[in-house]
């Protein structure tokens, strides 16, 4: 790996190496820029470092202290936050979905939320680029939305849990399909196809998972980028209205790396935290914050589920957890008393996750918990990924407490509003009907889970109502960019990683174009 | 309930292709974990009794060292990455919580929690779960939040981190580099658990 010195400014310092930052590191380095991508976490080698074990693999999660409050304080950690090179894609469930086209113009076309300042057709070209870069395994024909090309790799076979989703959807007369997944269904280079070990969300130890760690970052290294791991960026410095570099903590001391441009890609909590913690004399309210919107409009996604018991041995610990999906309610607007969309997928919880679900979501403990855990091989579930509307009251601010680096920690405030509650009611009822149609009994509803993190530095066409423009460039500071889930004006009812990577590819092209025009 | 997988021990495949070296290492270390001496004898006894009631072990399975695993977590005091604004950090929460459970037992029965009958202990735990406690120790320490954000997730996470608990649920256990071939309902690979009374598969 190439390494750059701290005495000379590089073209780009990227803060974060996940879906946004890792993708940009590859694309910008390949375009000839000098790039350092920093990550607070370590650079793992999955074949040697990853165990098949939920507890040990907690090392992948962002578990530094954060305060959660509001009417529905959200649980972070495993479900939505990574601290390792490759970011949370190292432990994501690999679900790789495109936004419904109308969801990019939710305000204009559907009457809620906000519009994205980009055209869906352009985004769909970038989706195709990312799907090819990750060799997404998906169905020959996707049932919803405008025509899309074939996925690069064939779909994975269904496991029993996915068969239950399929049978339920067919009974209710709606479409389902094999979930487009970022894990190999055929060999690629030195990597073997997925062996269906089922530990996907604790990190893939065979490198079948096409995370940023094994896709974009090798490309970035080959093109001369430096990945600086265990580097916690604490402050972005500015002078005369422009950023000059980053203060970062590594090997026990604070260091400074000068840069001609800085891209913040820390996901929707660490990104606003860094911008707010970087407040200085020039920018007393934090960087890129003239709109006052940095940290606001935090959007998680609804992750409620319905579970039941069947006679079949399902053994849902085998294979990727979500092999089948229905996006019906992302594309069907009739029959709803709320705005927005949702999808739902089959499930395969590992033991600790399942024990926490039964004890937390269902209130089981003692002998009742032990007995129910022993029936896990006969349990099936359907879980939603549902749209949360932007709301300025849901936000990330700075707490007074400081962390191990001496940096103020984030305070994350969240509440469901009426729209989310109405969507949850509809989704739980529908998923219950689907499970009932397959003969599942003893059905129960898990009503309070959430996933993913978006918003907090939204993109838009107006500096008064957005933090970055359509190029992901800060309105206030011309050489400061933000590119991760933070820039989402709305979240839709699909997992965000594919959209973050597509937006990163687009941002790289916009940077190239601007650079070309300037020279 | 009778054991559904009486002839299954997930450890039987620890020397096969289902377990990679790092998995063997971390599981062996976990099973060998002893109880560190970080609490007072009273708190230690309270914790042991609490764990017995939340995750009562099947008699026919090797014992799970849940107390040791949880004590190590308390000792490390490593955050989860999300702390409820009304609760203190992990170690402090457990220290206060164990004392409050004992105070509740004293208030209700005039003896420590460790000495309560099963029924008395479970009634007391249900009161914590429902925020219907009597002791003053809970004044600034919300019992239901301690229950749902700390007590329950920490205990069940420690218990279900152990191979003995995996065996009892018929879980395939570690699976790398060898994963699975048979994914459909009622099919299992030869290295998966056979369910008693069910003659499907392999």
> Is the pLDDT assigned to residue A406 strictly greater than 70?
yes
pLDDT-derived band of residue A235, with 50, 70 and 90 as boundaries? very high
**Residues of A with CB below 8 A from B169's CB?**
351, 373-374, 376-377
Q: What is the pLDDT of residue B199?
A: 57
Q: Using CB atoms, which residue from B23, B148, B179 is nearest to A53?
A: B23
Residue A295 to residue A419: CA distance in whole angstroms: 21
Q: Using CB atoms, which residue from B53, B122, B177 is nearest to A195?
A: B177
**A318 Cβ under 8 Å from any chain B Cβ:** yes
**3-class secondary-structure state, position A24:** helix
Q: How confident is the model over B27-40, as a mean pLDDT?
A: 97
Is the CB of A370 less than 8 angstroms away from the CB of B168?
Answer: yes
Mean pLDDT of chain A: 97
Residues in chain B: 202
Is the CB of B85 less than 8 angstroms away from the CB of A54?
Answer: no
> Is the pLDDT assigned to residue B202 strictly greater than 70?
no
Count of domains observed in chain B = 1
pLDDT-derived band of residue A139, with 50, 70 and 90 as boundaries? very high
**Other C-beta atoms within 10 Å of B76: how many?**
10
CA distances from residue B153 to A201, A281, A342, B124, B176 in whole angstroms, order as listed: 18, 44, 28, 18, 27
Report yes or no on B107 lying in a domain. yes
Q: Using CB atoms, which residue from B56, B178, B195 is nearest to A366?
A: B56
> Is the pLDDT assigned to residue B1 strictly greater than 80?
no
Question: What is the SS3 assignment for chain B?
Answer: CCCCCCCCCHHHHCCCCCCCHHHHHHHHHHHCCCCCCCCCHHHHHHHHHHHHHHCCCCCCCCCCCHHHHHHHHHHHCCCCCCEECCCCCHHHHHHHHHHHHHHHHHHHHCCCHHHCCHHHHHHHHHHHHCCCCCCHHHCCCCHHHHHHHHHHHHHHHHHCCCHHHHHHCCCCCCCCCCCCCCCCCCCCCCCCCCCCCCCCCC
Residue B196 to residue B125: CA distance in whole angstroms: 34
Q: Using CB atoms, which residue from B1, B82, B89 is nearest to A76?
A: B82
**Residues of B with CB below 8 A from A375's CB?**
4
Nearest CA in chain A to B2: A371
**B55 Cβ under 8 Å from any chain A Cβ:** yes
> Is the pLDDT assigned to residue A402 strictly greater than 80?
yes
Is the CB of B157 less than 8 angstroms away from the CB of A369?
Answer: no
Q: What is the DSSP letter of A201?
A: G
**Residues of A with CB below 8 A from B19's CB?**
52
Mutate to test the interface with A, among B118, B184, B200 (most CBs of A within 10 A): B184
Its domain, for residue B45, covers 10-168
pLDDT-derived band of residue A518, with 50, 70 and 90 as boundaries? confident
Is the CB of A369 less than 8 angstroms away from the CB of B54?
Answer: yes
Please determine, for the modelled complex, whether the ipTM score is greater than 0.95: yes
Cα angle, residue A247 at apex, residues A84 and A299 outer, rounded to 5°: 50
> Is the pLDDT assigned to residue B200 strictly greater than 60?
no
> Is the pLDDT assigned to residue B198 strictly greater than 90?
no
Nearest CA in chain B to A362: B148
Q: Give the side-chain half-sphere CA count within 13 A for A248.
A: 25
The answer to whether the beta carbons of residues A484 and A315 sit under 8 Å apart is no
Report yes or no on B3 lying in a domain. no
Span B115-158, pLDDT tens digits = 999 999 999 999 999 999 999 999 999 999 999 999 999 999 99
Report yes or no on B4 lying in a domain. no
Distance from the Cα of A369 to chain B's closest Cα (Å) equals 7
Q: What is the pLDDT of residue A104?
A: 98
Percent of chain A that is helix, strand, coil (3-state, to 5): 30, 25, 50
Mean pLDDT of chain B: 96
Q: What is the pLDDT of residue A78?
A: 81
> Is the pLDDT assigned to residue A147 strictly greater than 80?
yes
Residue B12 to residue A514: CA distance in whole angstroms: 61
> Is the pLDDT assigned to residue A81 strictly greater than 90?
no
Span A332-381, pLDDT tens digits = 999 999 999 999 999 999 999 999 999 999 999 999 999 999 999 999 99
Q: What is the pLDDT of residue A488?
A: 98
Is the CB of A366 less than 8 angstroms away from the CB of B195?
Answer: no
Q: What is the pLDDT of residue B78?
A: 87
Is the CB of B170 less than 8 angstroms away from the CB of A355?
Answer: no
Span B49-104, pLDDT tens digits = 999 999 999 999 999 999 999 999 999 998 999 999 999 999 999 999 999 999 99
Question: Across the A/B interface, how many CB contacts are shorter than 8 Å?
Answer: 197
Span A500-517, pLDDT tens digits = 999 999 999 999 999 988
For chain A, domain boundaries: 10-518
Is the CB of A68 less than 8 angstroms away from the CB of B58?
Answer: no
**B47 Cβ under 8 Å from any chain A Cβ:** no
Residues 92-121 of chain B whose Cβ lies under 8 A from any Cβ of chain A: none
Residue A153 to residue A156: CA distance in whole angstroms: 9
The answer to whether the beta carbons of residues A131 and A97 sit under 8 Å apart is no
Span A29-64, pLDDT tens digits = 999 999 999 999 999 999 999 999 999 999 999 999
Report yes or no on B151 lying in a domain. yes
Span A274-307, pLDDT tens digits = 999 999 999 999 999 999 999 999 999 999 999 9
Is the CB of B186 less than 8 angstroms away from the CB of A313?
Answer: yes
Is the CB of A55 less than 8 angstroms away from the CB of B157?
Answer: yes
Nearest CA in chain A to B159: A352
**A149 Cβ under 8 Å from any chain B Cβ:** no
Residue A141 to residue A519: CA distance in whole angstroms: 44
Q: What percent of chain A has pLDDT over 90?
A: 98
Is the CB of B79 less than 8 angstroms away from the CB of A65?
Answer: yes
CA distances from residue A281 to A237, A241, A277, A290 in whole angstroms, order as listed: 11, 11, 12, 14
Is the CB of A377 less than 8 angstroms away from the CB of B172?
Answer: no
Q: How confident is the model over A235-243, as a mean pLDDT?
A: 98
Instruction: Please tell us whether the domain made up of A10-518 is placed in CATH 3.50.50.60.
Output: yes
Q: Which helix (H) or strand (E) holds A299?
A: strand A299-302
| One-character DSSP codes across A307-354 | EEE-SS---TTSS-S--EEE-HHHH--TT-SSSS-EEEEE----HHHH
The answer to whether the beta carbons of residues B182 and B188 sit under 8 Å apart is yes
Percent of chain B that is helix, strand, coil (3-state, to 5): 50, 0, 50
Residues 186-245 of chain A whose Cβ lies under 8 A from any Cβ of chain B: 194-199, 205-206
């Amino acid at each position: 790996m190439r390494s750059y010195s701290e005495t000379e400014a590089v073209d780009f310092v990227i803060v974060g190496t996940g879906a946004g930052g890792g993708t940009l590191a590859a694309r910008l380095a390949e375009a000839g820029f000098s790039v350092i991508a920093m990550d607070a976490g370590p650079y793992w080698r999955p074949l040697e470092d990853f165990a098949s074990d939920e507890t040990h693999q907690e090392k992948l999660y962002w578990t530094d202290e954060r305060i959660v409050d509001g009417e529905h304080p959200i649980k972070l950690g495993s479900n939505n936050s990574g601290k390792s090179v490759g970011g949370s894609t190292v432990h994501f469930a690999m679900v790789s979905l495109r936004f419904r086209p109308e969801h990019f113009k939710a305000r204009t076309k559907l009457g809620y939320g906000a519009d994205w300042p980009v055209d869906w057709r352009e985004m769909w070209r970038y989706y195709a680029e990312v799907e090819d870069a990750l060799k997404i395994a998906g169905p020959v024909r996707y049932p919803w939305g405008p025509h899309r090309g074939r996925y690069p790799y064939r779909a994975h076979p269904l496991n029993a849990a996915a068969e239950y989703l399929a049978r339920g959807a067919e009974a209710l007369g709606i479409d389902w399909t094999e979930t487009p997944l970022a894990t190999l269904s055929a060999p690629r280079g030195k990597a073997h196809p997925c062996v269906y070990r089922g530990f996907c969300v604790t990190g893939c130890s065979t490198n079948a998972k096409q995370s940023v760690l094994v896709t974009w970052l090798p490309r970035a290294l080959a093109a001369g980028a430096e990945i600086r791991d265990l580097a916690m960026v604490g402050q972005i410095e500015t002078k005369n209205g422009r950023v000059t570099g980053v203060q970062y903590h590594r090997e026990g001391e604070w260091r400074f790396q000068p840069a001609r441009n800085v891209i913040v890609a820390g996901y929707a909590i660490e990104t606003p935290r860094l911008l707010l913690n970087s407040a200085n004399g020039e920018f007393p309210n934090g960087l890129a914050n003239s709109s006052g919107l940095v940290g606001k409009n935090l959007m998680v996604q609804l992750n409620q589920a319905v579970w039941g018991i069947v006679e079949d041995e399902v053994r849902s610990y085998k294979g990727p957890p979500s092999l089948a999906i229905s996006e019906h309610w992302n594309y069907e607007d009739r029959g709803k008393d709320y705005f927005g969309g949702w999808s739902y997928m089959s499930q395969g919880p590992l033991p600790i996750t399942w024990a926490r679900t039964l004890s937390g979501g269902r209130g089981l403990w003692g002998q009742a918990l032990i007995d129910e855990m022993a029936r896990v091989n006969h349990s099936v579930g359907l879980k939603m990924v549902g749209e949360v509307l932007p709301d300025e009251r849901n936000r990330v601010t700075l707490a007074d407490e400081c962390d191990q680096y001496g940096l103020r920690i984030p305070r994350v405030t969240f509440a469901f509003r009426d729209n989310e509650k109405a969507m949850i009611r509809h989704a739980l009822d529908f998923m219950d009907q689907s499970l009932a149609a397959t003969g599942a009994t003893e059905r129960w509803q898990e009503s309070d889970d959430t996933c993913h993190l978006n918003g907090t530095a939204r993109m838009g066409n107006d500096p008064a109502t957005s933090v970055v423009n359509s190029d992901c460039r800060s309105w206030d500071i011309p050489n400061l960019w933000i590119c991760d889930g933070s820039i989402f004006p709305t979240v839709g009812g699909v997992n965000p990683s594919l959209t973050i990577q597509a937006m990163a590819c687009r941002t790289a092209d916009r940077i190239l174009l601007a650079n070309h025009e300037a020279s | 309930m009778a054991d559904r997988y009486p002839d299954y021990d997930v450890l039987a495949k620890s020397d096969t292709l289902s377990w990679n070296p790092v998995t063997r290492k971390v599981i062996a270390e976990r099973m060998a974990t002893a109880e560190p001496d970080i609490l007072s004898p009273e708190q230690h006894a309270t914790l042991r009794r609490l764990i017995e009631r939340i995750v009562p072990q099947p008699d026919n399975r090797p014992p799970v060292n849940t107390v040791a695993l949880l004590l190590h977590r308390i000792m490390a005091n490593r955050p989860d990455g999300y702390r409820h604004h009304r609760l203190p950090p992990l170690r402090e929460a457990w220290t206060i919580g164990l004392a409050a459970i004992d105070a509740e037992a004293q208030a209700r029965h005039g003896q420590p929690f460790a000495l309560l009958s099963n029924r008395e202990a479970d009634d007391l735990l249900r009161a914590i779960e429902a925020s219907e406690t009597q002791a003053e120790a809970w004044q600034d320490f919300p019992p239901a939040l301690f229950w749902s954000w700390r007590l329950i997730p920490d205990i069940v996470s420690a218990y279900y981190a152990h191979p003995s608990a995996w065996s009892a649920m018929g879980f395939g256990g570690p699976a790398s580099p060898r994963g699975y071939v048979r994914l459909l309902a009622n099919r299992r690979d030869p290295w998966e658990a056979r369910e008693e009374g069910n003659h499907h598969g392999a």
